[in-house]
Amino acid sequence: MQEGRIPVSVITGFLGSGKTTLLNYLVHHPGMGETAVIVNEFGEVGLDHELIEKSDENTILLGSGCLCCTVRGDLVDTLGDLSVRRLKGEVPPFKRVVIETTGLADPAPILHTLMSVPVVGRYVLDNVVTTVDVVNGYDTLQNHDEAVKQVAIADRILMTKSDLVEADSMTGLSSYLRKLNPAAPTANVVNGEIDPSGLFGSLRFDLETKSDEVRQWLMAERYPDAHHEKEHRHNVNRHKDNIEAFCLRFDQPLDWKTTALWLDSLVANQGEKLLRVKGILDVEGIAEPIVIHAVQHLFHPPVRIESWPQAQRESRIVFITRDLPRSAVEEALQKAKNLIRLQSVA
């Protein structure tokens, strides 16, 4: 029954665990030719699709022969539309689909959709790859149920950012991952560098190899409460009410000293509440855009990229926070501005 169907792999993992870095490497790898990549943005504030490659609305053409779609609605509709466009020749032909979920996504409804919804009959679920950040991974798994599900349901676990910690400090995390999912092999990955042939193409997602708990999660997706059935199906990014996502935009170039002081103070004082910070900045005196990203107390060095992914040159910073409102983030920015102003006067 799987013959002739297009295999679909799912890349999941919590916020800041390295999914976009992994995709950035994979989509330029020769082994990823004729692949469609679906980026499932969180709400309306995502930047991931623009940081993968220059985009035009919902479709991104990639140099390796891949194409990328941005999902902002229902996954079923997106896959169906992609199939139609493929048949009409409106997008390059593809033989594989890779879906990157949002970091807050519960993978159960996504996998249930791929396994059961009739309109997805042109596709077949291949496998699930989960990224785990070794710097923050253990604390994340202790505090977020979504992260636990992402690990437990995986066919392959990639431990990212291993170059940032000592080997001995990874022992506890490795043991915990084996406890959550003893069947999934693990691999250390730095900067997303891994051969795609070791990740995709096995058609090995098999419920019989999963724990009873994983099977129960997927069974629960089959019988959602009738009153909430429509909302349940569409909202693959279910999360706790204390988690908030928002985007700050700046149409004038930013002063780097002020911006660095602001973000450093947030990481230092509110790091445990910063689930994800990702932005593209227009900085005074620099022609190219600057990309920043942080996860909790870990702030990665800024990266300069060659050109602006969007026509309009503006700064956008996406925050995904826990128990940290937008007003507190904006207040920290104002304090940084005041401090820099006082320093310049002195």
Whole-number Å distance between alpha carbons of 79 and 121: 10
* One domain for residues 199 and 247: no
* One domain for residues 217 and 177: yes
- Looking up residue 144, the CATH number of its domain turns out to be 3.40.50.300
Helices 171-180, 145-152: crossing angle, 10 deg rounding? 70
Contact by Cβ (8 Å): 12, 184? no
Closest CA to 51 of 333, 276, 284, 286: 276
**DSSP single-letter state for residue 252:** S
Whole-number Å distance between alpha carbons of 186 and 189: 10
* One domain for residues 220 and 290: no
* One domain for residues 86 and 165: yes
Whether residue 94 lies inside any domain: the answer is yes
Whole-number Å distance between alpha carbons of 220 and 224: 6
Whole-number Å distance between alpha carbons of 266 and 330: 10
Whether residue 128 lies inside any domain: the answer is yes
Whether residue 50 lies inside any domain: the answer is yes
Whether residue 1 lies inside any domain: the answer is no
* One domain for residues 48 and 125: yes
* One domain for residues 69 and 131: yes
Pairing of strands 290-295, 274-281: antiparallel
Structure pTM? 0.70
Contact by Cβ (8 Å): 18, 133? yes
End-to-end CA distance of the chain: 75
* One domain for residues 27 and 152: yes
Contact by Cβ (8 Å): 217, 150? no
pLDDT, averaged in runs of 10, over the chain (346 residues): 75 88 85 83 50 49 56 74 85 86 80 72 86 90 88 90 80 88 88 88 64 65 45 44 82 93 91 85 92 82 80 83 91 92 77
Whole-number Å distance between alpha carbons of 76 and 236: 12
Q: What's the structural domain count of the chain?
A: 2
Whether residue 134 lies inside any domain: the answer is yes
* One domain for residues 11 and 103: yes
Q: 244 phi and psi, to 5 degrees?
A: -130, 145
* One domain for residues 194 and 249: no
Contact by Cβ (8 Å): 7, 96? yes
As separate numbers, helices (DSSP H) first and strands (DSSP E) second, the chain gives 11, 14
Tokens of 313: 């040159």
Answer positive or negative: Cα dihedral of 241, 331, 262, 42: positive
* One domain for residues 10 and 128: yes
| Domain span at 54 | 6-234
Tokens of 11: 């890349």
Given this model, what pLDDT does residue 231 score?
40
- Which of these three, 204, 234, 264, is where a domain ends? 234
Given this model, what pLDDT does residue 118 score?
64
* Phi/psi-derived region of residue 325, left when phi > 0, alpha when psi is between -120 and 50, beta in every other case: beta
* One domain for residues 219 and 254: no
Given this model, what pLDDT does residue 74 score?
75
Whole-number Å distance between alpha carbons of 45 and 325: 16
- Which of these three, 213, 234, 255, is where a domain ends? 234
